[in-house]
Amino acid sequence: MTGGTGYIGSHTVLELLNDGFEVVVMDNLINSSSESLKRVENITGKSVDFYQLDLLDKEGLNNLFGKYEFDAVIHFAGLKAVGESVEKPLFYYQNNVTGTLNLCEIMQKHEVYNMVFSSSCTVYGEPDVVPITEDESLSAVNPYGQTKLTIEYILKDLYRSDNRFNISLLRYFNPVGAHKSGEIGEDPNGIPNNLMPYVTQVAIGNLKKLRVFGDDYPTHDGSGVRDYIHVVDLAHGHLKALEKLKENPGIDVYNLGTGTGYSVLDVIKAFEDATGENVPYEIVDRRPGDAAAVYADPSKAKNELNWEAQKDLVEMCRDAWNWQLKNPGGYN
C-alpha cells in the first residue's frame, strides 16, 4: 500500500489486517505520521511492514518490490490539498503523476498486475446533474483533481497496452469520521481544508469559528451540498474492490459514496445534535470553483462490488468527535 499512514490508508490497513491480509506500507510521511500504523497494530494485534519511501525514489521502489511477492497494490499516495495545488501545480503533477508512473513501471517489471487506485469525485468538476453516475463527463477544475484525472487516463492506457492488468478506479466523495476506538482518525497539517476536522477543531476550541463558504447556492438552505461517507465504510470498499480483482475484470471505475447529499449547515446541526457541542460559524463569500451540489449514485458499487455505505451522518460526527477528544493535538 502506498500512502498507507494517511487518513484513509491507515483505516484500510486496519480492515485488511482484520480480514487476514499481510500488508506492506510505504509512505514518505510528508503529511502523515507513522504513529497511525503503531496504533493500527495495537488495535489489531497484528504487525505491518513499514518503509519510509517516496514514489519518486524509483531505485528504492524497485528494491522494495524485489523483497516481496506482492499480490496487489492499493495506491493512496498523493498530495491532496486543492488550494495548495492551485499555488503549486508543478509540485502536484510531479508528486502525483510522476510518482504513479514510477509505480506502474515497477509493478510491470515485477509482474504485479492488480491495483486499486484512490481517485476522487473531483474528476467530475462541476457536474451537470446529481446524483453523479460513473458515466458523467469528466472535467477537473483544479490541479489536484486534474492529477487524479490524468492518472485515470494513464491507467486506462496501461490496461489497453497490457491486459494482464486488473485495475479498480475508486472515485470517492467526502470521507469523514474515524475508527470507533478513537485511536486513528484525520490529522490535517495546520488549518484543515476539509469540513469535518474544521468543525471538530472549532468545537474543541482550537479554532474560534467555522467559515461557511456561501449561503446563496440553489440548495435547500443555500449552503453547499456534499456526499459525506464514513472512512470505515470507505475502507471496506477497498477490500471489496480487491476481491473483485480476483475475477480478472480488466479496468473499471466505481463511485464510493452514500448517495445522500448533506449541506454544510446540515453537518453543523448533525454534529451539534450528536455531541451536544456548540459550533459557532460565520457565512463568508463562496470559494471559486465550488459546485452547489455534488453527491454520488453508488448503485454500480452495490451491484458489482456488493458494497454500500452503512454508517449515517450522526455516526460520522460522533466518531470524528471521539477522535478529536482523545487526540486534541492529533498524533503528535
Which residues are designated catalytic?
A: 144
Please tell me the distance from the alpha carbon of residue 26 to that of residue 3, in angstroms, as a whole number. Answer: 6
- CA 230, 234, 240, 246: dihedral to nearest 10 degrees? -170
Helix (H) or strand (E) holding 211: strand 210-213
Cα–Cα distance for residue pair 307/18, rounded to 1 Å: 17
d(CA 127, CA 132): 7
H-helix segments, 110-194? 143-161
C-alpha cell at 324: 478529536
Please list the residues that pair with 50 across neighbouring strands.
Answer: 25
Cell of 159: 490496461
Query: Is residue 225 helix, strand or coil?
Result: strand
